[in-house]
Amino acid sequence: MLLMKPTDIQKQYRLIHDVYVLMDYGDTAVLSEYELTASQMSVLRQLDDREGRRLTTISERVMRSKSAITRIIDILEAKGLVSRVGDPEDRRAQRVVLTSKGTRFREEVNRKHLHSLDGRFNVLEESEQAALMNLLNKLRVGLVEYLNPK
């Protein structure tokens, strides 16, 4: 049952889409300074310098195919940001860990990205940011329930 006219729903969708595109454009501008893609940064955010993660876990968390994750890891490894190590729980598997260079690199990129986000969200007052956060969380929960029925 539709609670709104289709044109209202379409307008809301379009606004969310436009905001997503603009946020992505801002992220791309920051990450391109580091010759990094959003997918590569998503992978870096999943890793630590101790235990690391299996490729399959990374694939699930960033919602990319295992083959795409393998290519991303190859690129990050060539840059010296990550390395593959044996999995102590399964000798057939590998884990990916951040190198010390990767840890420093990720921290620098995160600082620059946070500064960029601060500038992009500054258009909203603090109370508006809180209201937006509540609405977006509610929408996310609803989308998860709608798209993953039990």
Res 49: pLDDT: 85
Tell me the pLDDT of the chain averaged across its residues.
Answer: 93
Domains of the chain plus CATH, in order, are 21-116 (1.10.10.10)
Residue pair 55/94 in contact by the 8 Å Cβ criterion: yes
The model's pTM is: 0.82
Q: Give residue-wise pLDDT tens across range 41-75.
A: 999 999 988 889 999 999 999 999 999 999 999 99
For 65, residues 6+ apart whose C-beta sits below 8 A from its C-beta are: 59
90's enclosing H/E stretch is strand 90-98
